[in-house]
Amino acid sequence: MKSALVIVPTYNESENIVSLVQRVRAAAPDVDLLVVDDSSPDGTGDIADSLAALDSNVHVLHRTTKEGLGAAYLAGFAWGIEAGYDRLVEMDADGSHHPEELPGMLALLNDHDLVLGSRWVPGGSVENWPLHRLALSRGGNLYTRLALGIRIKDATGGFRAFRSDALQTIDLTSVASHGYCFQVDLLWRALERGLRVVETPITFTERVAGESKMSGSIVRESLSRVTRWGLERRVREVRELVVRHRRLPSVRATQVAQLR
Ligand SMILES: Nc1nc2c(ncn2[C@@H]2O[C@H](COP(=O)(O)OP(=O)(O)OP(=O)(O)O)[C@@H](O)[C@H]2O)c(=O)[nH]1
Ligand SMILES: [Mg+2]
């Protein structure tokens, strides 16, 4: 496989971006980086520009307004696909995801389309999270598993690697989720498309600097969308059952006719 691009969305990550970029470059020297900054008031975009000026493997995409993590990733994917990268990685800027785990994840793309860094499979872990964040992640993932009927243990995580060709088979134009629901949205589309998805254990470390963008509205968005997708799935299953049931007698009649 050719080149990989790590896409890092940023909003007010001036305290984190330098060390994150350095860690990615050290852990995976062949991999490029794209910082997607939504005009952070704290100057993250300017810092990223300075990093890019010193290193031709580092790129920056400046966006004029803060439109959430989902929109930033979609812009990053479009940039990476246009530039011809054949593997695209999602990674937070706050140090929660460990760049040192990147090579192992990229290797798994040799026989998978989507590799999910997972906190909740054996070997995965979370460091320094308060109890309410643990409960939110565990509860959110349990609800997602039950509503969507999937086996994925960590559907909300944001450390992931895609094969670009597989990602391009998903309709990205209709993805409208903003917060971490974006991650469930993409995964759900990938599973429905029949992509080869695998979870691999990661260690997730709570950010030590900067502020979390997690909010009540992000949780509500996720809850309402996952519930809707789950209901749509059930309706679809019932419809398929009814259609199959209706077809049965006519199939039997044809078979009987053929036997005669
Ligand atoms: N470009 C862009 N990046 C964003 C936006 N919102 C969040 N991010 C970035 O997305 C990544 C994840 O955001 P976090 O605030 O760490 O959210 P989180 O990891 O779900 O929450 P914590 O675990 O509390 O840190 C970080 O790199 C953020 O800077 C946004 O509106 N635009
Ligand atoms: Mg974070």
Question: Per-residue pLDDT tens for 74-132?
Answer: 999 999 999 999 999 999 999 999 999 999 999 999 999 999 999 999 999 999 999 98
Helix, strand, or coil (residue 170): coil
**Claim: this prediction has a pTM higher than 0.85:** yes
Q: What is the pLDDT of residue 230?
A: 87
Q: What is the pLDDT of residue 235?
A: 86
Q: Distance, CA 20 to ligand 2 centroid (Å)?
A: 13
- With a Cβ cut-off of 6 Å, ligand 1 is lined by 9-11, 13, 36-38, 66-69, 72, 92-94, 96, 180, 207, 212-214
Q: Which of 23, 92, 207 gets mutated to test ligand 1 (max ligand atoms within 8 A of its CB)?
A: 92
Contact 121, 108 (CB under 8 A): no
Q: What is the pLDDT of residue 208?
A: 81
Q: Around Cβ 15, how many Cβ atoms within 10 Å?
A: 18
Q: Distance, CA 138 to ligand 1 centroid (Å)?
A: 19
Q: Tell which residue, 200, 187, 198, has the closest CA to residue 147.
A: 187
Ligand nearest to the CA of 137: 1
Contact 39, 46 (CB under 8 A): no
Q: Express each pLDDT in 246-260 by its tens digit.
A: 877 665 666 656 655
Atom of ligand 1 nearest to the CA of 206: 23
Atom of ligand 1 nearest to the CA of 207: 25
H or E segment and range at residue 252: helix 216-259
Which stretches in the chain have pLDDT values below 70?
A: 1-2, 249-260
The rounded distance, in Å, linking the Cα atoms of 178 and 222 is: 9
Q: What is the pLDDT of residue 251?
A: 59
**Burial group, residue 46, by CB count within 10 angstroms (0-12, 13-18, 19+):** middle
H or E segment and range at residue 203: strand 203-205
Q: What is the pLDDT of residue 158?
A: 95
Q: Which residues are within 8 A (CB) of 89 and not within 5 positions of it... i.e. 6 or more apart?
A: 4, 5, 6, 7, 31, 102, 105, 106, 159, 160, 161, 162
Q: Distance, CA 244 to ligand 1 centroid (Å)?
A: 45
H or E segment and range at residue 147: helix 131-148
| Cα atoms in the 13 Å half-sphere on the side-chain side of 183 | 27
Q: What is the pLDDT of residue 240?
A: 84
